Amino acid sequence: MINALQDKKEISKKLKEKAINEGFTISGIASIPGSSRLKLRTNALDRWLSENYHSEMKWMESERRKNIYSLLDGAKSVLSVGFTYISSESNNKDKILKVGKFSQGEDYHKVIYKKLKNIGKWINLEIPDCKWKICVDTSPLLEKAWAEESGLGWIGKNSNLISKKSGSWLTLGFMILTKDLVPDEPHQSLCGKCDRCIELCPTKAIIEPFVIKSDLCIAYHTIESREKTIPSKIKENLNGWVAGCDICQDVCPWNKSVPFNNNFETTPKEWIKNLNIDSLSWDDTTWKENLKGTTLKRIKPWMWRRNIKANLDS
């Protein structure tokens, strides 16, 4: 019994170390079904959806998001990882047109998936009886809740996951496993009385702590909304944003001094660094060529033109 526990501790430790060696900033493990906090997070999701705060993002309604077993039969543990996407070149200061830092480098979905796939190969050798499934944010998973449960950080008042050491400049990845592993302690919230993200959001999209009303959010309107025009309330507050918005993270005290991740995966694309009003004249072929290999291809060429024009009109 003692040896079995020691083995479980050892393999859990090795798994988290493997994740760090693959290039993730932080890693942690949660047991399934998790603590009572998961139920609270699920209830919060239901309330958010019932208020239609997700607007056009109908995929958020997937029932599978509330049932991790629907993603992998026999699931027992979750490996959660965080990838730092901010580099020393990820800067929007003095830029005429601004792009969210999360999307300035390589497509993080592919970056995270590739690293997790390497961990999967390691699992096949080290834990051959363990089945696994990779999840990035395209999977119906309560991502930030499981990251919090795994001890990576806490869900902040701006609804981003915040790590004590790495701030919130993180994209998340997960591996659901059929192996019973040693879980980390769920993280406690450290936002305290700070409301900077709420107070400084120009469109007041954070209508209460932890609750984002999507149709008030600049990131939603520049990335997700397929409406032909941007509402005037949003337009007058764009201040250069054409793809996403980092304001609620830029003002967060936990992001004051976080380590950069300076590698080819996070280095901003040249066209993003040089994006300006002249980009309005790019044809669809030019846009598609530039967007290749980035997560920004979600924003179609006509939407880029819409977003740029909205900034010129504001």
Q: What is the DSSP letter of 222?
A: I
Taking CA atoms, 82 is separated from 19, 31, 173, in Å, by 9, 18, 6
Taking CA atoms, 291 is separated from 286, 296, 300, in Å, by 9, 6, 9
From 107, 129, 137, 246, the catalytic residue: 137
In the numeric block, which tokens belong to residue 33? 């079904």
- Respond yes or no: is residue 137 known to be catalytic: yes
In the numeric block, which tokens belong to residue 103? 């999307």
**CA–CA dist 272, 127 (Å, integer):** 42
Q: What is the DSSP letter of 167?
A: B
Q: Residue 263: how many CB atoms within 10 A of its CB?
A: 13
Contacts for 145-148 with beta carbons within 8 Å, 24 or more apart?
A: 145/34, 145/37, 145/38, 145/41, 145/42, 146/30, 146/34, 146/38, 146/68, 146/78, 146/80, 146/174, 147/28, 147/80, 147/82, 147/172, 147/174, 148/37, 148/41, 148/186, 148/187
**CA–CA dist 206, 215 (Å, integer):** 11
Supply the Cα-derived Rg of the chain in whole angstroms: 20
Q: Which residues are catalytic?
A: 137
